[in-house]
Amino acid sequence: MANEEIFDKLRDSIVNQDVSGCVELTKEALADGISAIDIITKGLSVGMKVIGDKFEAAEVFLPQIMMSAKAMNAAMEILTPELEKNKTDEQETGTAITFVAEGDIHDIGHRLVSTMLGANGFDIIDLGTDVLNETVVEEAAKRKGEKIILVGSALMTTSMLGQKDLMDLLNEEGLRDSVKCMFGGAPVSDSWVKEIGADATAENAAEAAKVALEIME
Ligand code: HCB
């Protein structure tokens, strides 16, 4: 099967909530020599975007999205060890404190970004989902003086607003200059990141790792 055909089938398996089909196709794609990151960005994530758009258009409902997420998670169980295989043991890369904004439980992209940062030499402190800004600031304060990057995800326009509050809180606590701040998730844009005074954003997990390495240099 040509790669494009496999990517289309991976996308469709997510859109059609075909959990076992998605797992089989993922294994097949790996066996064909396609990289885990391409399987995710060119196949599975495209499917998640399509199902999200269908949800917005009221063509599908929450149970269908949950099944699509189940298919994505099943594929990620196979792909995560592949992503970790390329782990570099570089010293001094720094620590990434990763989290999903308060009120937001979308964690698929967050876990993917955390895995990719770990594979690129960062020590990961994963605070999970629905995280209070105060918790993030507390973790950053404990490590003042170390090389730290805060890596926040928000998938909803509502939870994204909390990123501005986090930047304000870091400023109030005198911590802004001791950490780098990168935010991402579907609604996060370059202009938003500039507006709130953060350092960077990234479209996907591979780019997030690249950008994080650049801004930590
Ligand atoms: Co959810 N949901 N959802 N959802 N959901 C979205 C996010 C909508 C956009 C769908 C839509 O309407 N089009 C929408 C938000 C609308 C808005 O605010 N503008 C929405 C809504 C409304 C809701 C509920 C409120 C629905 C309801 O209950 N009525 C509810 C909210 C629950 C809550 O959080 N309090 C809800 C629930 C769910 C689930 C539980 C069914 C499920 C989540 C399962 C889980 O994560 N464990 C879900 C899902 C799966 C989605 C969509 C379909 C896919 C999200 C996803 O996993 N994408 C999403 C539609 C969409 O995003 N277009 C929809 C795949 C991953 C790989 O991509 O964007 O998360 P990603 O991450 C990328 C990228 O952004 C970047 O790298 C990642 C990897 O490549 N990145 C970073 C991420 N974080 C980064 C950080 C950095 O520093 C840098 C880069």
- 192-197 contacts, C-beta under 8 A, 24 or more apart: 192/160, 192/163, 195/164, 196/163, 196/164, 196/167, 197/167
Name the pLDDT band for 200 (thresholds 50, 70, 90): very high
**Amino acid code (one letter) for 140:** A
* Domain presence at residue 203: yes
Q: In DSSP terms, which residues pair with 152 in a beta bridge? A: 99, 183
- Which ligand 1 atom is the nearest neighbour of the CA of 160? 18
Same domain, 141 and 211: yes
Does the Cβ of 50 fall within 6 Å of ligand 1?
no
Does the Cβ of 166 fall within 6 Å of ligand 1?
no
Does the Cβ of 200 fall within 6 Å of ligand 1?
no
Q: What spacing in Å lies between the alpha carbon of 13 and ligand 1's midpoint? A: 18
Tens of pLDDT, residue by residue over 103-162, are: 999 999 999 999 999 999 999 999 999 999 999 999 999 999 999 999 999 999 999 999
Q: Residue 101's pLDDT is what?
A: 98
Whole-number Cα distances in Å, 1 to 44, 75, 116: 17, 19, 28
Same domain, 64 and 123: no
* Domain presence at residue 41: yes
Pick the residue whose CA is nearest to atom 45 on ligand 1.
Answer: 106
- Which ligand 1 atom is the nearest neighbour of the CA of 116? 79
Q: Residue 119's pLDDT is what?
A: 92
Rounded CA-CA distance 193/180 in Å is: 12
Same domain, 120 and 203: yes
* Domain presence at residue 90: no
Tens of pLDDT, residue by residue over 52-109, are: 999 999 999 999 999 999 999 999 999 999 999 877 766 679 999 999 999 999 999 9
- Which ligand 1 atom is the nearest neighbour of the CA of 151? 88
Name the pLDDT band for 1 (thresholds 50, 70, 90): confident
Q: Are 8 and 21 in contact (CB under 8 A)?
A: no
Same domain, 69 and 103: no
Tens of pLDDT, residue by residue over 5-15, are: 999 999 999 99
Read off the CATH number of the domain in which 170 is found: 3.40.50.280
* Domain presence at residue 13: yes
Angle formed by the axes of helices 62-85 and 45-56, nearest 10°: 160
Q: What share of the chain is helix, strand, coil (3-state, %, to 5)?
A: 60, 10, 30
Q: Residue 9's pLDDT is what?
A: 98
- Which ligand 1 atom is the nearest neighbour of the CA of 62? 41
Q: Model's pTM, two decimal places?
A: 0.96
For 63-76, give one letter per residue: b (16+ CB within 10 A) or e: ebbebbbebbeebb
Does the Cβ of 112 fall within 6 Å of ligand 1?
yes
Q: Quote the number of domains for the chain.
A: 2
Pick the residue whose CA is nearest to atom 26 on ligand 1.
Answer: 62
Q: Is the pLDDT of residue 216 over 80?
A: yes
Rounded CA-CA distance 175/188 in Å is: 23
Range of the domain at 176: 95-215
Same domain, 81 and 99: no
Q: Are 61 and 113 in contact (CB under 8 A)?
A: no
Does the Cβ of 102 fall within 6 Å of ligand 1?
no
Rounded CA-CA distance 20/139 in Å is: 39
Q: Residue 90's pLDDT is what?
A: 61
Q: Residue 217's pLDDT is what?
A: 87
- Which ligand 1 atom is the nearest neighbour of the CA of 53? 13
Read off the CATH number of the domain in which 47 is found: 1.10.1240.10
Rounded CA-CA distance 27/210 in Å is: 26
Same domain, 10 and 69: yes
Same domain, 123 and 143: yes
Same domain, 101 and 208: yes
Residues 62, 13, 5: CA angle, nearest 5 degrees: 145
Mean pLDDT, to the nearest integer, of 177-206?
97
